[in-house]
Amino acid sequence: MWFDSFIFSQCLIKGEPWSWSLMTGISAASKTAIILCIVIGSSFVSVVWLGSVIGGNSQIPFEDVDRGWSCGRSIRENLLITDAQTWQDLWTSMKSGESDPPSLPYVNFTTELLIAVFLGEFGSSGYFANITGVFLLLTGYRIFVVEVHPDPNCGVLAVMTQPYHIISIPRAQQDFSATFVYSVHVRSCMP
């Protein structure tokens, strides 16, 4: 940017239109450095501008679809669910151990998608999954998850648990990949 202003001012002084011939007295290394500065500067401006257009650093609103501590899925996994059949299959596998499973929550996949977090299986109660934020960046979705563990002094039930959290978000105009960022919070049971 500064280079363009400098060249433009030099052209005004000399009364010439801008051209590469103005760079005749500059060494090849200097020309390369100037061109690199222009490219890097333009790229930086483009990234900053596109970041604000695509989503920048603003948080995407979301709604809870389902959350719990028992779902029958013992594998730790993170999922983006973008179609009805995948959602149906996931729901069926999650609720397969229930004698009277709830009906499948409706999701309009033309306008929204689902994000699901499964923490795996634990040998006691006291574990929870909590999606706390979703951001759309140039590189895709960044999903923040707090994994809650019980303090060793907590009285917990000796049962197998599979904590999970599923949310819906507005669907972007194109599909993006997702990065999940976890933090662990140990919940104290002491007063």
What does the pLDDT read at residue 58?
A: 80
What does the pLDDT read at residue 17?
A: 53
95 CB contacts (<8 Å, ≥6 apart)? 71, 72, 101, 102
What does the pLDDT read at residue 49?
A: 39
**Positions in the chain whose pLDDT score sits under 50:** 1-13, 18, 43-55
The token duo for 160 is 């197998």
What does the pLDDT read at residue 173?
A: 80
What does the pLDDT read at residue 72?
A: 83
DSSP codes of every residue in 102-138:
PPPPP--TTTEEEEEEEE--BSSS--EEEEEEEEEET
